[in-house]
Amino acid sequence: MIDENWAGLVADGGESFPIIKSTVQFAGKVWSIRTDVLDFDGRLIERDIVMHPGAVAVIAIDDEDRVLLIRQYRHPLGLYIFEPPAGLLDVSGEPPLLTAQRELAEESGYQADSWFTLVDFLNSPGGSSEAIRIYLARDLHVLPGGRLQTGEAEEAFLPRVWVQLDEAKDLVLSGAVSGPTAVAGILAAWAGREMGWSNLRSCDEPWAMRSALLAADRVPLNFNKKELA
Just list the catalytic residues: 155
Q: List C-alpha distances in Å: 51 to 24, 124, 221.
A: 10, 11, 8
Give the C-alpha separation, 122 to 28, whole Å.
21
Is 93 strand, coil or helix? coil
Q: What is the DSSP string of 174-224?
A: HTS---HHHHHHHHHHHHHHHTTTTTPEETT---HHHHHHHHTT-S-TT--
> Please, which residues bridge with residue 163 across strands?
67
Is 162 strand, coil or helix? strand
Phi-psi region of 54 (alpha: psi -120 to 50; beta: other; left: phi over 0): left
| Kind of pairing between the strands at 110-122 and 201-202 | antiparallel
Note whether 105 and 158 are within 8 A (CB): no
Q: Among 37, 43, 16, which residue's Cα sits nearest to residue 25?
A: 37
